[in-house]
């Protein structure tokens, strides 16, 4: 069985170290996890005036969230919290009231920063937001990657073996988390073994 995992990079920068981290996670994930990016760069600022009729970009984003079996959030830390673009994306996905696309969706978070505490505070804030959105969030292992020059190249290759092993183990734990918490039913995109993976 293969799970369709949507991943969100909480940075709009093409040179983001967290985008490199996301590419590394795709490379190191077990075969049962098919990681596909759900972009957030086209989303306007959330405004509840649009709840009755979502803008096309926001509806496409919300539909992608709904069709994923699980979510992986790869976040930088800005001013000791998550980036505004990531919070904005979560707001679009969770609204309008009673139509929360995040509800029950297994999730995990990870992040990279050059600082010694990496993205610990951003992830703490993110856990609170996702818990409020009724998402079962993986608690262990936590993953705060201190990014150093050359740790992950532009193609997502991890150059330090111990870090590569840690990230591989992290994704294996995420697979177990998804196995425990995924919700079968309409809109799910789980694939039987041998089916074509998108």
Over residues 34-58, the pLDDT tens digits come to 999 999 999 999 999 999 999 999 9
Confidence of residue 112 (pLDDT cuts 50, 70, 90): very high
73, β-bridge pairs: 8, 109
**Mean pLDDT score, 123-132:** 97
Domain-by-domain residue ranges, the chain?
Answer: 3-181
Q: What is the pTM of this model?
A: 0.90
d(CA 47, CA 68): 24
**Mean pLDDT score, 86-98:** 96
Contact criterion met (CB below 8 Å) for 129 and 8: no
CATH (one of 3.40.50.360, 3.20.20.70, 3.40.50.620, 1.10.4080.10) for 3-181: 3.40.50.360
Q: Reduce the DSSP state of residue 2 to 3 states and report it.
A: strand
Contact criterion met (CB below 8 Å) for 43 and 58: yes
H-assigned helices in the chain:
17-28, 56-67, 84-94, 120-132, 161-181
Please tell me the least confidently modeled range out of 95-104, 119-128, 143-152, 185-194. Answer: 185-194
Whether 89 has a pLDDT exceeding 50, the answer reads yes
Contact criterion met (CB below 8 Å) for 9 and 25: no
78, β-bridge pairs: 81
79, β-bridge pairs: none
Structure confidence at residue 194 (pLDDT): 35
Whether 162 has a pLDDT exceeding 90, the answer reads yes
Structure confidence at residue 183 (pLDDT): 80
The percent of residues above 70 in pLDDT, for the chain, comes to 93
Question: What's the maximum distance between 2 C-alpha atoms anywhere in the chain?
Answer: 50
Whether 81 has a pLDDT exceeding 50, the answer reads yes
Structure confidence at residue 184 (pLDDT): 74
Nearest by Cα to 113 from 186, 196, 20, 40: 20
Q: What is the pLDDT of residues 165-195, one digit of tens each?
A: 999 999 999 999 999 998 875 344 433 333 3
């Amino acid at each position: 069985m293969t799970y369709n995992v949507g991943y969100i990079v909480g940075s709009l920068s093409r040179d983001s170290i967290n985008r490199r981290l996301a590419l590394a996670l795709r490379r190191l994930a077990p075969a049962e996890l098919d990681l596909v990016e759900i972009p957030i760069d086209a989303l306007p600022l959330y405004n509840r005036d649009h709840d009755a009729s979502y803008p096309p970009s926001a509806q496409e984003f919300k539909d992608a969230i709904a069709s994923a079996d699980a979510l992986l959030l790869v976040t930088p830390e800005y001013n000791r919290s998550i980036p505004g673009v990531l919070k904005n994306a979560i707001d679009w996905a969770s609204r309008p009231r009673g139509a929360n696309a995040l509800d029950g969706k297994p999730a995990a978070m990870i992040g990279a920063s050059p600082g010694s505490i990496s993205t610990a505070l951003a992830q703490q804030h993110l856990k609170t937001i996702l818990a409020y959105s009724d998402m079962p969030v993986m608690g262990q292992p936590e993953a705060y990657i201190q990014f150093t020059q050359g740790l992950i190249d532009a193609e997502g290759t991890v150059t330090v073996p111990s870090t590569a092993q840690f990230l591989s183990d992290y994704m294996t734990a995420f697979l177990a988390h998804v196995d425990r918490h995924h919700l079968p039913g309409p809109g799910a995109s789980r694939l039987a073994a041998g089916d074509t993976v998108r």
